[in-house]
Amino acid sequence: MREIDGPACAAALLRWYDGAARVLPWRVSPAARAAGARADPYRVWLSEVMLQQTTVATVRDYFHRFTARWPDVHALAAAPEAEVLAEWAGLGYYARARNLIVCARAVAAAGGEFPHDRKALQALPGIGTYTSAAIAAIAYDAPETVVDGNVERVVARLFAETAPLPRSRPRLAELAARLTPQRRPGDFAQAMMDLGATVCTPRSPDCAACPVQGFCHAQALGIAAQLPAKAPKAAKPQRHGLAYIARRSDGALLLETRPPRGLLGGMPGWPGTDWPDAAQTPTPAPPLAADWRLTPGTVRHTFTHFHLSLQVAIAEVGPQAEAGRGQFRADFDPGALPTLMRKCWDHALAAFGDIGGGAPLR
Ligand code: SF4
Number of other CB atoms surrounding residue 123 within 10 Å: 11
Cα-to-centroid distance, 44 and ligand 1 (Å): 27
Helix (H) or strand (E) holding 328: strand 327-329
Q: pLDDT tens digits, the chain, 362 residues: what are they? A: 689 999 999 999 999 999 999 999 999 999 999 999 999 999 999 999 999 888 999 999 999 999 999 999 999 999 999 899 999 998 988 888 999 999 999 999 999 999 999 999 999 999 999 999 999 999 999 999 999 999 999 999 999 999 999 999 999 999 999 999 999 999 999 999 999 999 999 999 999 999 999 999 999 999 999 999 999 888 899 999 999 999 999 989 999 999 887 889 888 999 999 999 989 999 999 999 999 999 999 999 999 899 999 999 999 999 888 888 899 999 888 888 999 999 999 999 877 765 444 455 65
Residues 249 and 274 placed together within one structural domain of the fold = yes
CA distance 275 to 259: 15
Structural domains of the chain, count: 3
Determine whether the shortest distance from the Cβ of 191 to ligand 1 is under 6 A.
no
Examine residue 156 and state whether it is found in any structural domain, yes or no: yes
Ligand 1, atom 1, lies closest to the CA of 200
Residues 28 and 108 placed together within one structural domain of the fold = yes
Domain boundary among 144, 172, 207: 144
Residues 44 and 113 placed together within one structural domain of the fold = yes
Task: Please report the atom of ligand 1 found closest to the CA of residue 213.
Answer: 5
CATH number, domain of 264, equals 3.90.79.10
Give DSSP secondary structure letters for 234-263. Answer: PPPPEEEEEEEEEEETTS-EEEEEPPSSST
CATH number, domain of 51, equals 1.10.340.30
Most informative mutation of 2, 199, 223 for ligand 1 (most atoms within 8 A of CB):
199
Residues 247 and 344 placed together within one structural domain of the fold = yes
User: What's the pTM value of the predicted model, to 2 decimals?
Assistant: 0.77
- Residue span of the structural domain in which 285 resides: 238-360
The residues near 25 (Cβ < 8 Å, ≥ 6 apart) are 47, 60, 63, 64, 67
CATH number, domain of 228, equals 1.10.1670.10
Examine residue 129 and state whether it is found in any structural domain, yes or no: yes
Backbone angles phi, psi at 333, to 5 degrees: -125, 105
Residues 299 and 256 placed together within one structural domain of the fold = yes
Distances in Å between the Cα of 350 and the Cα atoms of 102, 243, 344, 346, 357 are: 39, 16, 11, 8, 11
Examine residue 270 and state whether it is found in any structural domain, yes or no: yes
Determine whether the shortest distance from the Cβ of 156 to ligand 1 is under 6 A.
no
Most informative mutation of 17, 151, 157 for ligand 1 (most atoms within 8 A of CB):
157
- Number of H helices and E strands in the chain, helices first, is 15, 8
Residues 139 and 203 placed together within one structural domain of the fold = no
Determine whether the shortest distance from the Cβ of 155 to ligand 1 is under 6 A.
no
Cα-to-centroid distance, 138 and ligand 1 (Å): 23
Q: Are 264 and 85 in contact (CB under 8 A)?
A: no
Residues 245 and 274 placed together within one structural domain of the fold = yes
Determine whether the shortest distance from the Cβ of 85 to ligand 1 is under 6 A.
no
